[in-house]
Amino acid sequence: MCSEHSVSRISLLCGMVLCSAAVVGAQGIDVSPLSWNFGNVPVGTSGMVTFDLLSEGPSEVWIYVVDLYESPDVTSPHTDATGMHPSSWSLGAFSLNPATYPIIPVASPTGSHTLVDVIFTPPAPGDYLAYLFIQSNDSVLPPGPVAFLPLEGTGVVEVVPLPGAALLGVIGLSVAGWMHRRRTA
């Protein structure tokens, strides 16, 4: 038979266990966006997107690697012969902005943002695909400890109007308006 005193001790003990579990809980990082399509970008120009890595806590999140990869293959080597991670600042038409690239590894306190800019500069017409790779101690899906965020874009030939084409268009609209007014008068 349980007394009121022993029931309250059990409740207190359960409350302490639940509270400590919340404090030690899984680290979370909210990444936005989870993918990006740059759409059509004229060859020789650039588009840029900023990925926001928000540390959700309950304790600081460690971001170990931010890189560009050709495929979402977790079996590909992530270290070089020295055991260090080789940095891929640029991969084909995609590159990381060195001016805003975080110093890795980075400890991101709860509520803080780590921003990563990805630039798309197509060298020729065509479709391009790469992955922004993020490795962290995030234990909440998505993205989790290993994330491959798809990056897409299409290089297009920029259409340059012929000299005087804009002037001819304006003249054409003026003549059409004049003729319309004349018919209705």
Q: Closest Cα to residue 45, out of 7, 4, 93, 79?
A: 93
* Two structure tokens written together for 157: 């030939």
Could you give all domains of the chain from N- to C-terminal order, each with its CATH number?
26-157 (2.60.40.10)
Q: Which helix (H) or strand (E) holds 7?
A: helix 4-23
Strand, coil or helix: what is 142? coil
Q: Closest Cα to residue 62, out of 117, 20, 34, 102?
A: 102
Of the pLDDT bands very low, low, confident and very high (cuts 50, 70, 90), residue 163 is low
| Torsion of Cα atoms, 10 then 11 then 14 then 18, to 10° | -170
pLDDT at 179: 53
* Two structure tokens written together for 68: 């560009």
Mean pLDDT of 105-112: 92
Give the distance, in angstroms, between the CA of residue 58 and the centroid of all CA atoms in the same chain: 22
Output the pTM of the full model. 0.68
Q: Which helix (H) or strand (E) holds 183?
A: helix 165-184
Of the pLDDT bands very low, low, confident and very high (cuts 50, 70, 90), residue 171 is low
pLDDT at 93: 95
pLDDT at 150 exceeding the cut of 70: yes
CA-to-CA dists, residue 24 to 19, 109, 183, angstroms: 9, 15, 81
Strand, coil or helix: what is 115? strand
What 8-state DSSP symbol labels residue 25?
-
Encode pLDDT of 14-51 as tens digits.
333 333 333 345 678 899 999 999 999 999 999 999 99
Q: Closest Cα to residue 66, out of 28, 96, 41?
A: 96
